[in-house]
A and B are shown apart, each in its own frame.
Chain A
């Protein structure tokens, strides 16, 4: 029996979409997607760090660990990163 299951977010290799500009703000950052015109507030410096570090690590869970994000906070980060992929700010890395 084969089932195609979507890999869970923590196992995915994510990257910032090339059409997204990330602008630092005192509270975190603003992300603007030039393709779909969406605007997202990244409301904490830790989520900004994670987004900026995605490229340097393999999976998302590797990135969260490398950024010293307490595992108790991972659900909030997963929610946030799910939302970022839904708005196409993040996508699966190619290659």
Chain B
């Protein structure tokens, strides 16, 4: 891990946990299929 990340982790536990959780969960793309959605062939 580089220094910027280490610096972030020295903030209060709560906010860095929340920040890390958000980053881990940032789902930027999602593949979906509507193939054969009702009325769709």
Contact = CB atoms under 8 A, between A and B. Distances in A.
Are chains A and B touching directly in their complex (CB below 8 angstroms)? yes
Interface of A: 37-44, 46-47, 71-73, 75-77, 79-80, 83-84, 87
Interface residues on B, range: 10 to 19
Contacts of B2: 71
Interface of B: 2, 4-5, 8, 19, 23-24, 26-35
Given A39-B32, A72-B5, 11 more contacts: A38-B31, A39-B34, A40-B32, A41-B29, A43-B27, A71-B4, A72-B4, A73-B26, A76-B24, A77-B28, A80-B29
Contacts of B19: 72
Contact of B28 (A72, A76, A87): A76
A73 B5 CA distance: 11
A44 B7 CA distance: 26
Contacts of B4: 71-72
B28 A80 contact: yes
Nearest to B34: A39
A49 B5 CA distance: 24
A45 B29 CA distance: 11
